[in-house]
Chains A and B, each alone.
Chain A
């Protein structure tokens, strides 16, 4: 226990700053969205917006599509992630650590670039489609449900893989041996003992997948075509090519928040507590299996890891080929990059500036919050805990709309400034920074800090001079992850950016809508490199905290 009276200034200050920040830039905007959805044109209260929007089958369809495609993708990601986790935990698959490095990448690579790659390959004018057509073979459409489920599965399966892998490794081998000793076959032990023990981890990862699909904006924007999807329709209504309609957008945004919040609550408060700890000191040994199974497991593990990265590699390759108008020619060329650069180098600078500011800001706010949550238990810290996790439940689209609505007028006008973009990123990445820093703190004995205080260094100075250096590896890791995910952020960026502050993702987004296929590919390649390289550089730092992400 910590002496709250004598040391309460620090946690109170941190909690106050964090609650103020999130209250102003998360709660207030979200409430503003709710508020707008209940107003008519004169500003009076009405339920008309809901009646009107929900009465249209197009928007009803968008809700069912989002939920249905999310459910399918969740099932598929689970079907891929669980066997893969088992292969990596218990079967003799060569190159496991390499697979793990590769498998963690899709989580941070921009998923809409993956979707774009699919279009480049299998789309109407796709390379593979062309090739098949020229051979006179039939081609199916990847637009709509099949493409969305495919992309979601391959980019989100690590959410299931990582916790499930940890759970498989945490199964004490003696409970397996006990099962066998009591007369159960290996197969029976797997179904009756091991699987039930890991199920809570699987479900909790699966719900994260589901939430991500609901929130995702870029992938359906690229692949859904005329299939309505909640996050995309909310955006379209809000920016409205004909007439912007924030009330209608607010209705869809409210629906989206309701769905994601339900999923988050289920994940946190039901599954988060249903963990069976079996207290394994060492991971259970690899099973001895025959050659056939071994090959199968190896092919499957490497196959999944590579298939998930293939779209990104494709985009990288295509970016270095020559485009003449929309037609691709098989000549090596840096022309796409030259075009991208000549158009403007500003977006790249913007991306770097904004991502760096956001990474610094999120760490500056998130690390002290993580510290207070881990080291000071009080009523205030449980409120802080709930509020700091809320950004998880708010889709980028919703946050973007909310920030615009809230800071469009009044005493604090931020709409159109880069500040509002940085704020949106900080809010969205805060939960990750908080959890990453509390994960490290759980490994740091509190008596280290007490020893420092006992030796005459005040709590605040102890935090700065001892705790932060000890947490540094994790803090840097968290900042790099924040940086790369911000660099590829699309959903709130497209709503919040103003002309001169367009980012690389915006360039890609615009190129997708227009003609510049070559420029889009080059922009996508830059994004891939900008996210993958820093990650691989600090991979050692990150590995210890990869589970903090889920």
Chain B
């Protein structure tokens, strides 16, 4: 019940961004999809896909714009959510009110993470799944869409969560901004680059997990040991 109350509060903070991202991704994604459907025959006739026998849905092919689109929205969402959940309570000085209650402080962090993850899953993951499901209907596109393409989209969504944890870590840090305070963002940026440089889904997922793991452990440590 206590966790649910915290989660409800955190979801309320995330809600405007959830709606905005859902709307943005749906509208821009639909425009992209419409262009893909209309132009795919032109691309194929021009030999654009001569080296491909399938679509890499998110990064390559006639609908390559989906990759950067998911990445951009995901990174922006990660930074915005972390600022709303971790930076603004410091600005508005509401941390003491939040922390002084009959719970362990770890529960506050878990409720924030859960709310942020739900926001990512609904606003990006769900819509991405719908786009993929639409494109994967047999006969809709000239070439088949692979499942790895779908997973690639989720890797991009995961980079947004890495940005979220990195921004959160920098937000809760009490160090000077020009010193170790930026470490969270720096680690997140490095991890995201490493993820994007990978050529396999497995490699990208492993780097994403490693980056997320380091940031989450450090975030717990900083959140529980700092003063308010």
A binds B: no
Chain A residues with a Cβ under 8 A of chain B: none
